[in-house]
């Protein structure tokens, strides 16, 4: 194994655990701000990409990460003009973040998760959890029913390749595992107790990861912004024209004559890509 890095987010345990015999990792310092935390993760990412041996990154904890983003959303909500007016009338008024603020917090979380999910090495994330009242489809408590919930972003358990639950009262238990060697089928296979749990055994014996052959996960961003997709199509068209030394103006005029729409302002990426496909076919003929 290569270098191990530990990013402490609100737990304060990295220094203490360093005293455990055999512990060997570097503590990644940050100033507590979101931008510095992401910046430090990016630096470790770059170092891992250049390392000849698999690098390990520990993030402790993702519960604190989401709490930081929740606090950021709440702070922005209280700073809005509407909230300021209401707080002047009632300093104790409850101010809830609007959906756009939660979306911004979610975007920040997804940016960090993309770095972790595509990390060229091994990532170990911790998070707290607890039993809570189970809810029905309408969000109402089900009498007498309880369920375990990870304290963090709601998608965190699904983004992890393996989810191991640790408890004071029960042996370590594998709740979920996405692996061709030892996967658990949702709704079919029950959680597996793992009394001999260790990260080394899990990674190399159960998941059968070979550091010499393993590759980072590839994740393609999904784009909902049609304008961004249209711009991407225009960029691809521009690359094609430059490659074949074709003048832009007559191509734009042709697009307008065929589509009755200006190429520069077209918001339909499919139309632009279809037009590019036609040009490529003509060039290959």
Domain identity same for 133 and 251: no
Of the residues 138, 161, 184, the one at which a domain ends:
161
Range of the domain at 131: 4-161
Q: Please state whether beta strands 4-8 and 26-28 pair in parallel, antiparallel, or not at all (unpaired).
A: parallel
140 shares a domain with 36? yes
Helices 226-243 and 269-284: crossing angle, nearest 10°?
Answer: 20
Q: Is residue 220 part of a domain?
A: no
Instruction: Answer yes or no: is 194 within a domain.
Output: no
- Are 151 and 75 part of one and the same domain? yes
Domain count for the chain, please give it.
Answer: 2
Same domain flag for 260 and 157: no
Q: What is the pLDDT of residue 222?
A: 67
Q: Is residue 87 part of a domain?
A: yes
Which residue among 121, 140, 161 closes a domain?
161
Instruction: Classify residue 171: in a domain, yes or no.
Output: no
Same domain, 152 and 28: yes
pLDDT of residue 223: 65
CA distance 105 to 121: 26
Phi, psi dihedrals of residue 29, rounded to the nearest 5°: -80, 145
Q: Are residues 37 and 136 in the same domain?
A: yes
Give the length of the chain.
285
Predicted confidence (pLDDT) per residue in 72-100, tens digit: 999 999 999 999 999 999 999 999 999 98
Query: Which tens digits make up the pLDDT trace of 36-63?
Result: 999 999 999 999 999 888 899 999 999 9
Contacts of 68 (CB under 8 A, 6+ apart): 9, 10, 34
d(CA 126, CA 199): 13
Q: Is residue 219 part of a domain?
A: no
- Order across the sheet with 26-28: list the strands: 26-28, 4-8, 55-60, 121-125
Q: Are residues 43 and 155 in the same domain?
A: yes
In this structure, the answer to whether residues 146 and 237 fall within a common structural domain is no
Cβ atoms 70, 10 nearer than 8 A: no
Average pLDDT per block of 10 residues along the chain, 285 residues long: 92 88 93 94 94 92 96 94 94 92 92 94 94 82 89 93 91 89 80 89 86 73 73 89 91 91 88 92 89
The verdict on residue 214 lying in a domain is: no
Secondary structure string (H, E, C) spanning the chain = CCCEEEEECCCCCHHHHCCCCCCCCEEECCCCCHHHHHHHHHHHHHHHHHCCCCEEEEEECHHHHHHHHHHHHHHHHHCCHHHHHHHHHCCCCCCCCCHHHHHHHHHHHHHHHHHHHCCCEEEEECCEEEEEEEECCCCCEEEEEEEEEEECCCCHHHHCCEEEECCCCCCCEEEEECCCCCCCCCCCCCCEECCCCCHHHHHHHHCCCCCCCCCCCCCCCCCCCHHHHHHHHHHHHHHHHHHCCCCHHHHHHHHHHHHCCCCCCCCCHHHHHHHHHHHHHHHHC
Tell me whether residue 211 is in a domain.
no
Residue 179 has a pLDDT of 83
Which residue, 161, 192, 212, sits at the end of a domain?
Answer: 161
Contacts of residue 145, Cβ cutoff 8 Å, sequence gap at least 6: 133, 134
Q: How confident is the model at residue 210, as a pLDDT?
A: 80
Residue 18 · residue 27 · CB < 8 Å? yes
């Amino acid at each position: 194994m290569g270098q191990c890095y530990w990013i402490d987010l609100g737990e304060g345990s990295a220094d203490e655990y360093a005293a455990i015999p055999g512990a060997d990792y570097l503590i990644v310092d940050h100033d507590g701000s979101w931008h510095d935390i992401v910046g430090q993760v990016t630096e470790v990412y770059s170092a891992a990409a250049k390392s000849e041996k698999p690098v390990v990154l520990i993030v402790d904890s993702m519960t604190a990460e989401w709490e930081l983003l929740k606090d950021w959303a709440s702070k922005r909500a209280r700073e809005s003009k509407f909230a300021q007016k209401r707080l002047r009338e009632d300093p104790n008024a409850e101010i809830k973040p609007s959906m756009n603020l939660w979306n911004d917090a979610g975007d920040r979380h997804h940016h960090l998760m993309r770095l972790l999910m595509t990390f060229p090495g091994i990532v170990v994330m911790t998070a707290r959890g607890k039993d809570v009242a189970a809810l029905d489809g309408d969000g109402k408590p089900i009498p007498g029913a309880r369920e375990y919930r990870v304290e963090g972003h709601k998608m965190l358990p699904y983004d992890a390749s393996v989810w191991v639950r640790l408890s004071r009262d029960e042996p370590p238990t594998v709740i979920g595992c996405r692996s061709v060697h030892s996967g658990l089928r949702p709704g079919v296979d029950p959680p597996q107790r793992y009394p001999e749990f260790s990260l080394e055994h899990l990674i190399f014996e159960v998941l059968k990861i070979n550091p010499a052959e393993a590759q980072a996960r590839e994740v393609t961003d999904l784009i909902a912004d049609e304008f961004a997709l249209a711009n991407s199509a225009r960029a691809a068209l521009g690359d094609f024209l430059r490659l074949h030394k074709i003048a832009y103006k007559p191509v734009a005029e042709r697009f307008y004559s065929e589509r009755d729409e200006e190429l520069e302002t077209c918001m339909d990426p499919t139309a632009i890509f279809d037009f590019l496909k036609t040009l490529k076919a003509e060039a290959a003929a």
